[in-house]
Amino acid sequence: MSASNDLPEYHSLHHNRTRRRSEAPPAYITIFSDPQEELPSDAQPTRHQYASSTSGLLSKTKKPWLELDLITRPTTIPQWLNTPRYFGGDNITGTVGLKLDSAQSISSIVILLRGRIITSFEDFGSFIFLQYTHPVWKKADGDPRSTTTSGTTTFNGKLVGEYEFPFSFPFPTETDLAECPGYKTSNIGRASDRRDSVNPVFPCPQTFLERNLPINIEYDLVLQVHHGLLRPDTKIKTSIVFIPKITPGPSSFMRAEAYAQASLLPSPLSDPEGWHASEPLNITGTTTSGRKVDVEYTLYLANPLSYTRGTVIPCYVTIACQDLDVLQDLSNTKGKQVKLTRTVHFFLNPPKEVDRYLKGNKPLFQMEVDEIDTAIWWRPSKDAVQESTCSILEGEIHLANTLVPSSDFLPFKVEYNVEMLPPKSERFRYKGPTQANQSKSDDDAFHNSQPTTSDSENEHKAELISHPIIIATFNSSGPRPTPFTQRRNTVAPRRRENFRSENLTHNYSLGTTMGGY
């Protein structure tokens, strides 16, 4: 097949965005999608309005007397589906309104922000990892209508008429597990047993809800009006969505220029700073006649190793082999050898495992691995010379805008890897890596626990290359990465049942950090 026939047509993707007829339901509903959606120039902030019942009010009126008005970013999401969404760095902004027909005793008004892990209906299955209280007004502040702050009389807390209290405070992006209510009220740990060398502060995770995982990450906002000791509080509660702000570093100059000009990307040979190369991977196998054949792979991923959901992961691979028939077979652009996988580590008993960690012990966790998508390949036609014994493929992995971003939160870690699996070929039977590729890297303490999976299949028992990457939520500065191929119809991620981290023969360290929170 000629290079021109294999080459994707870029221009048609840039201008032609149509709805596919047979898309599967996304893994997450649309409130979790890309925060950088396209909006009209006159888009207005989104308002979310809530009103109270008559609970806590000494009045015969049936009219709502307490209102909560939240202001969030503009969005195209329909109002009936629009849960308030906050991103890392956003403020929680709004007003509290009172409409009181008669004098009512109110001692204070507060906004409570709470983050919770839910793993089961057991007592330990609900773990509050974040709780922040923002005071809106209290009786000691005096009459809200007063224009002065000093006076000789103490305000009695009786309010009547209409009032409006504005508020604004930053959404916390980190939480201290040693001080959170879920740990301090669990009666498990003692402060004297904690290791000073253990860091208890972690970035807050994104809202998470998947039907096939026994863990939810939920946030809610509660407006509380305190009337005094002898009367119940009045509350308005609403669920909210939190999405951390993770931004990749900028692309190389040459890649940014290619994006700006809507041209194909420069190869690793032309733009070495723009690509991260694996160590050459040497594998061995046999042909159909039983003859031994060696193959060398090198996998390249675009630098930096952080990619915004809704874009793509640019890939390059070189395949070197002296057997030309085997080389041709392994260079098939229809191959599904390179995949994006997601690994979720989570605690089923968060109070107990957080206590283990704070005391310097290894926590126990559940681990689930999903195959998210596979790379789409073509033969490059630009500055990439194809040699007789070396084949070059260019490709990309599409990232859905509903992907859960990477998370470094201890009770709920989300990690992504680009993996190269053993080749499937009619002319080459894979036997294993050569001796030069048998070394394994040590996992950190969090990964040393045994995952709860089974070895019922052999299809994925050896990932030849596993490259950690970060899935970000915001685009970096400069031209936005754009796809060169049409995204496949959305399919549900495939659960990998037989994953074992010790099967990796390559696992090199990640050169970037999750500094975008």
Instruction: Kindly list the domain boundaries of the chain, sorted by start residue.
Output: 46-145+156-185+200-243, 253-432+461-472
Q: Following DSSP, what letter does each residue of 263-284 receive, concatenated? A: -PPPPTTT-GGGEEEPPPEEEE
**Would you state the pLDDT for residue 432?**
76
**Which range in 30-34, 368-372, 486-490 is most confidently predicted, on average pLDDT?**
368-372
**Would you state the pLDDT for residue 380?**
85
Rg of the chain taking only CA atoms, in angstroms: 28
How large is the average pLDDT for residues 493-512?
41
Give the three-state DSSP class for 252.
Answer: coil
Tens digit of each residue's pLDDT (9 = 90 or more) over 347-370: 999 999 999 999 999 999 999 999
Tens digit of each residue's pLDDT (9 = 90 or more) over 305-318: 999 999 999 999 99
**Would you state the pLDDT for residue 156?**
81
**Closest listed residue to residue 38, CA positions, set 446, 503, 480, 517:** 480
What torsion do the CA atoms of 367, 370, 371, 373 make, to the nearest 10 degrees?
-130
What torsion do the CA atoms of 94, 95, 96, 101 make, to the nearest 10 degrees?
-150
Long-range contacts of 12-20 (CB under 8 A, 24+ apart): 13/482, 13/483, 13/484, 13/485, 13/486, 14/262, 14/482, 20/489, 20/490
Q: Based on the number of CB atoms within 10 Å of its own CB, is 408 exposed (0-12), middle (13-18) or buried (19 or more)? A: middle
What torsion do the CA atoms of 137, 138, 139, 142 make, to the nearest 10 degrees?
-50
Give the pLDDT band of residue 506 (cuts 50, 70, 90): very low
Q: Give CA 422 to chain center in angstroms.
A: 28
Task: Name the residue with higher pLDDT: 17 or 183.
Answer: 183
Identical fold, 46-145+156-185+200-243 and 253-432+461-472:
yes
Tens digit of each residue's pLDDT (9 = 90 or more) over 95-118: 999 998 888 889 999 999 999 999
Task: Name the residue with higher pLDDT: 187 or 33.
Answer: 187
Give the pLDDT band of residue 191 (cuts 50, 70, 90): low
User: Which numeric CATH code is attached to 253-432+461-472?
Assistant: 2.60.40
Asked if the model's pLDDT at residue 257 lies above 80, the reply is yes
**What is the percent of the chain where pLDDT is above 90?**
49
Give the pLDDT band of residue 278 (cuts 50, 70, 90): very high
Mean residue pLDDT across the chain? 80
How large is the average pLDDT for residues 255-275?
91
Cβ(423)–Cβ(430) under 8 Å?
Answer: yes
**What is the percent of the chain where pLDDT is above 70?**
75
Asked if the model's pLDDT at residue 493 lies above 50, the reply is yes
- With b meaning 16 or more CB within 10 Å and e meaning fewer, what string describes 91-109? ebbbbbbbbbeeebebbbb
Give the pLDDT band of residue 55 (cuts 50, 70, 90): low
Asked if the model's pLDDT at residue 34 lies above 80, the reply is no
Q: How many CA atoms are closer than 13 Å to the CA of 506, on its beta-carbon side?
A: 29
**Would you state the pLDDT for residue 442?**
37
Q: Following DSSP, what letter does each residue of 180-216 receive, concatenated? A: SHHHHTSS---GGG--TTS--EEEPPPPEE-TTSS-E
**Would you state the pLDDT for residue 76?**
78
**Would you state the pLDDT for residue 434?**
62
**Would you state the pLDDT for residue 496?**
62
pTM metric for this prediction: 0.81
In sequence order, what are the beta bridge partners of 496?
A: 369
**Would you state the pLDDT for residue 511?**
31
Spatial distance between the Cα atoms of 266 and 371, rounded to a whole number of angstroms: 28
Spatial distance between the Cα atoms of 66 and 53, rounded to a whole number of angstroms: 8
**Would you state the pLDDT for residue 153?**
66
Spatial distance between the Cα atoms of 296 and 319, rounded to a whole number of angstroms: 6
Structure tokens given for 375:
């790379």
Tens digit of each residue's pLDDT (9 = 90 or more) over 408-445: 999 999 999 999 998 888 889 888 776 445 444 434 33
46-145+156-185+200-243 adopts what CATH topology? Immunoglobulin-like (2.60.40)
| Contacts of residue 442, Cβ cutoff 8 Å, sequence gap at least 6 | none
**Would you state the pLDDT for residue 27?**
39
Structure tokens given for 280:
């050459």
